[in-house]
Amino acid sequence: MQRTIFNTPIITPLLRQVAKLLLKFHGWRVNGDQQSLKLKKYVLIGAPHTTNWDGYYFILAALKLKMTPQWMGKDKLFQFPLGGPMRWFGGIAVDRSKANNLVDATVRQFKLRKELVIAIPPEGTRGLGERWKSGFYHIARSAKVPLVLGFINFSKKEVGIGPIAQLGENLEAELNKLREFYADKVGKFPELYTPPCQPQQ
């Protein structure tokens, strides 16, 4: 088992208490869907993503909810001296020089592990884009794992884990459902939010 900020003996329990204090200090509330939190393997999307502060609040929420999320990154990010800290914050290195892509590499990780939560910001950028990247959808479908809707809402100072999304075969239909769920979730910089898809004409 990879030791991370979310499962290191002695240290993590202390960090959970710190996280609770920080959330209270900031005036933020954490919501966790109980069915989602019972899952051992799933893709966790986090949106809206308009600032680096999103990661800060998601980490605090994950600590409070006793989650163990991880993320996939290019192997160059894990070279010395940042490799250790990156892995401790949940990073899993991916060799992008081989004839595979991030989707395939993530699917393989799900097949190799009994428990795994992979967090993905589906917008792919903190800046304004046209629509979400579809990698999260293909990973969940190919790995045959649930998709859980993580969210942050600066307008209400809420962050947390929402319901499980039932994924069908029609990507556009699924993106429209996600658009509805995230319609009332406001990022720190709303003008930079990239919606799952454009409204249907």
Q: What is the mean pLDDT of each run of 10 residues along the chain (201 residues)?
A: 94 98 98 96 96 96 97 86 92 72 91 96 87 94 97 98 93 93 96 88 52
- Residue of 7, 22, 89, 94 lying closest to 60 (CA atoms): 22
What is the greatest pairwise CA distance in the chain?
A: 54
Q: What angle do CA 87, 89, 90 make, to 5 degrees?
A: 65
Q: Which residue has the tokens 């250790």?
A: 84
Q: Which residues pair with 165 in a beta bridge?
A: 147
What pLDDT score does 170 carry?
92
Residue 90 φ/ψ region, left for φ over 0, alpha for ψ in the -120 to 50 degree band, beta for the rest: left
Q: Where are the alpha helices (DSSP H) in 72-197?
A: 83-88, 102-112, 135-143, 171-181
What's 16's DSSP letter?
H
Q: Residue 95: what pLDDT?
A: 76
Where helices occur in 32-71 by DSSP H, the ranges are 34-37, 53-64
Q: Does the global pTM surpass 0.85?
A: yes
Instruction: Enumerate residues 6+ apart whose C-beta is below 8 A from 95.
Output: 75, 105
pLDDT the model gives residue 18: 98
Q: In this predicted structure, what is the pLDDT of residue 100?
A: 57
